[in-house]
Structure 1
Amino acid sequence: MNEFLILIPIFYFLIIFQQSFLVKFSIFGVIPNLVLILVFLLNFLVKTDREKNLRMILSFIGGLLLDIHSGLLLGSWALNFLIIAILIDKFYQFFEKSNFLWFPILFCFCLYFSKIFLNFISLKYSFNVNLFSFFIELLYSLFLFFIILFALRITNIYKSKKSPI
């Protein structure tokens, strides 16, 4: 449980990094959602039944922290991430034994669901989705997703090697 509590400051750091630094590296005004990437990896890669509720709570807290820094209604990101965590938990058994291709496809679905959900919850009377910006955000987020996934794989390989000391 203590290793999961360190994720709350990591969520906050990613939000600050995303809102202040990544804006300078936006592509056509689009920045990736690092918190969504962390929520997805947290709920998909850490699969113990004992920590199921803790993953849901951390997803909700990450959404609340993002709500503080966004202009949307308070609780919209939190509800969004909680629904994504529940969906990943429910559909994990279908993707558990499948190949690696389903992993980025499920991430794309989560990103798409997040966009659609936030568009509905933001109380806009017209449903306005710019497909070009969505496609750019999808590519940008997938690129960072694979970099983070590769870094996690490298650290797991490094940790699994026995130390000669």
Structure 2
Amino acid sequence: MSITVVNGLPAHVLVVHFVVVLVPLSALAVVVGAIWPSAARRMGVVLPLLALVTLASVPVATNAGEWLEEHVDSNALVREHAELGDGLLPWAAGLFVLATAVWWTNRGSASAEAAPEERTRAATPRSALIVRAAAVVLSVVVAAGAVVDVYRIGDSGAKAAWHDGFSKTADGGGHGDND
């Protein structure tokens, strides 16, 4: 069973807004958590839970979109949007995996948070620095990929929905006229 219609509107046009908000929010949270361990500790379990909700919202939007695709006239713009939409799930899964890894590696007690953060690099093992640097780079790459993909999907969806649905000039229909 999938959600297809909500209050008379195709569910896809409503559900995509969750994806449009949650993917960039999760991406930002993952990057911030990877760069600043104290921020990851403050976010706590909310970080992977946010990414999990984001991950779950993608197939819901995709399934609702597939239903909508079967109920509109097919054209190249609709097909392109559907193809792009199918590519978001791996990015969302990557965000979830990274969010979980960032949370897991940075979880700690309140005493760890209270400890001074200015630990010298000499006191930190080189392998830990390499792992942290890799996590930061991977987080930035996956976050950027996810956000760019959401933008591309949204742009193609807007073009598919509005390509001939409005006039580029005002029709003079009296909106805002005082005469």
Smaller-chain TM-score bracket? 0.3 to 0.5
**Larger RCO: Structure 1 or Structure 2 (Cα < 8 Å, ≥ 6 residues apart)?**
2
TM-score with structure 1 setting the length: 0.34
Larger Rg: 2
The two structures have a TM-score, normalised by structure 2, of 0.32
